[in-house]
Amino acid sequence: MGKPEKIKSARVSILGAARSGLAVARLLKANGADVFVSDKKPLEEAAQQIQILESIGVEHEFGSHSDRLFDADFMVVSPGVPSNLNLVQHAMKVGLKVYSEVEVASWFCRAPIVAITGSNGKTTTTTLIGKIFEKSGRKTVVAGNIGYPISDYVADMDEQAVAVLEVSSFQLDHVDTFKPKVAVLLNITPDHLDRYENYQAYMNSKFRIFMNQTADDTSVYSHDDEAVEKHCRDLKTILKPFSVKDRINCGGFVDDEKLYLVENGEPVYLMDWKEIKIRGVHNLYNSFASALAARSLDVDMEVIADTLREFPGVEHRLEPVRELDGVRYVNDSKATNVDAVWYALGSFDAPIVLIAGGKDKGNDYSPLFEPVKNKVRAMILIGMAAPKMQKEFSEKTKCVMAASMEDAVAKARREAKKGDVVLLSPACASFDMFQDYEHRGREFKRLVMEL
């Protein structure tokens, strides 16, 4: 498959009826496909999805998955469906092509695609790139794993627009012809090891963002991430690495706290580091990646610099909530892995009361031992990972168990002193207690505002 003209009359099964599943069902149905949607959500909880599917004439099943799911020319899986799920593995075993929603949508996308992946910083960088293109006056759609399925937008986009897409490893597992004009790989650190056979398998998934790029396409990546740099230096594309450690001869680098982009072999000053509104060295990397991606599609340097001066960051990522009794409360719910928490801890000079825990993803917490010992006054631990984290960190700082987010916020307030930061930065997934990291972050903010 892989071409819109071959979709007509194709039999397509879609696994998952969340936002992306419904969006790709609409797109395929509108282009003549025979679509069937299957979701394990109980029938009595699926009224809204059923109404949408019936309004567009798409057959469906809820509550369980029947063999009808495999009676298709190809299957589309939602981003939340892990590749190691038995249903997905069986589909591939019987020779059924399995695609992600972003792959299918790309068949219909006339606009150039800027795709962003990485273990950390995807949402911030995707949002920032979108803001830069919007400020430049270009019609821009920001979608993908950020929460807005690109399938909902491709019909209204032409060659003059730009599609800025956050893509996860799960989405990249099932791409075939997906070909970004600009592909951005921010970093790779251990994550989702509960869903991948090993770390190398997870890295290979991330590298798939480059697999269909050609000499006319641009690859933006971190020179300072050893595994990323080793893979990307041999790509046959326009290479734009970025570094905050070394002066490099292409891409971008920092010198004397000034940002330079290399253009035609010469460094061109962009702005001073301190002018970037979002704090932390991780956001310097995100800013560099955004600047290089935008320049790859000819956005003016002045527009890029102005946006970096103005961009306040994204919700649930080092988001200031309030200050109470001299204590700052910060929502970093999107920090769902160890590396994200490492960067978060490095963003503050004040002592930290850290709320952490949730659903463990096979984490190795050892990179956090030193920063926790040096910077964290106390850890308030929640969720399924709490006992493991208590065992790991009890010799590094005071550990306090909490039964709920409400309990955690109350205990964090008691532990914090004037001048401290209470930081929700969990290092874990949210699904043991919350719908997603956004739900977790909103609950934290609500509880803090009620103090």
pLDDT in tens, 36-63: 999 999 999 999 999 999 999 999 999 9
H/E stretch holding 261:
strand 258-263
Return the CATH superfamily for domain 319-449: Mur ligase, C-terminal domain (3.90.190.20)
Kindly state the percentage of the chain with pLDDT values over 90: 80
pTM: 0.81
3-state helix, strand, coil in the chain (%, to 5): 35, 25, 40
Percent of the chain with pLDDT over 70: 98
Residue (of 246, 315, 250) closest to 278 by Cα position: 315
Of 156, 212, 209, 361, residue with least CA distance to 220: 209
What whole-number distance in Å separates Cα of residue 336 and Cα of residue 333? 7
Gap between the Cα atoms of 447 and 404, Å rounded: 11
pLDDT digits (tens, 9 = 90+) for 341-395: 998 998 899 999 999 999 998 888 999 999 999 999 999 999 999 999 999 999 9
Q: CA triplet 407, 409, 410: central angle to 5 degrees?
A: 65
Say what the pLDDT of residue 337 is.
Answer: 87
**Which range has the worst mean pLDDT, 128-132, 238-242, 311-315?**
311-315
- Among the listed ranges 1-5, 64-68, 84-88, which one has the minimum average pLDDT value? 1-5
For residues 179 and 122, what is the distance between their CA atoms, to the nearest angstrom?
18
Structurally, what CATH architecture does the domain formed by 109-310 represent?
3-Layer(aba) Sandwich (3.40)
- Find tokens 């825990």 and name the residue: 357
Question: Which residues does 6 contact at the CB level (< 8 Å), separation at least 6?
Answer: none
CB contact at 8 A, 150 and 141 = yes
Instruction: Indicate the pLDDT class of residue 81, thresholds 50, 70 and 90.
Output: confident
**Architecture label for domain 7-102:** 3-Layer(aba) Sandwich (3.40)
The pLDDT confidence band at residue 3, using thresholds 50, 70 and 90, is low
User: What integer pLDDT is reported at residue 143 of this predicted model?
Assistant: 96
Average pLDDT, rounded, for the chain = 93
Would you say 186 and 116 are in contact if contact means Cβ atoms under 8 Å apart?
yes
- CA dist 365 and 363 (Å) reads 6
3-state secondary structure of 350: coil
What's residue 84's pLDDT?
Answer: 80
- Does residue 384 sit in helix, strand or coil? coil
- What's the rounded Cα separation, in Å, for the pair 289 and 283? 10
Name the least confident of 6-10, 305-309, 446-450. Answer: 6-10
Q: Sorting pLDDT into bands at 50, 70 and 90, what band is 5?
A: low
- Report the DSSP beta bridge partners of residue 61: 38
205 touches 167 (CB < 8 A): no
Average pLDDT of the segment spanning 411-419: 97
Task: Give the model's pLDDT for residue 294.
Answer: 98
pLDDT at 431: 85
Read off the pLDDT band of 307 (50, 70, 90): very high
Domain boundaries, the chain: 7-102, 109-310, 319-449
State residue 59's pLDDT score.
Answer: 96
Is the Cα dihedral 201, 168, 95, 113 positive or negative? negative
**Is 1's pLDDT higher than 50?**
no
Distance of CA 377 to the CA centre of its chain: 29
The answer to whether the CB of 15 falls within 8 A of the CB of 75 is yes
pLDDT on residue 313: 86
Contact 179, 105 (CB under 8 A): no
pLDDT of residue 2: 47
Which of 282, 322, 328, 325 is CA-nearest to residue 423?
Answer: 328
Indicate the pLDDT class of residue 224, thresholds 50, 70 and 90.
Answer: very high
Instruction: Give the list of residues 6+ apart from residue 20 with CB closer than 8 angstroms, or none.
Output: 78, 79, 101, 149, 151
Interval 253-264 mean pLDDT: 95
Residue 275 CA to residue 256 CA, distance in Å, equals: 14
pLDDT above 90 for 102: yes
- What local confidence, expressed as pLDDT, does residue 4 receive? 64
Q: What pLDDT does 193 receive? A: 61
- Residues 254, 243: Cα–Cα separation, whole Å: 7
Q: Mean pLDDT over residues 82-93, rounded?
A: 87
- Please give the Cα distance from 351 to 422 (Å, whole number): 9
Q: How confident is the model at residue 191 (pLDDT cuts 50, 70, 90)?
A: low
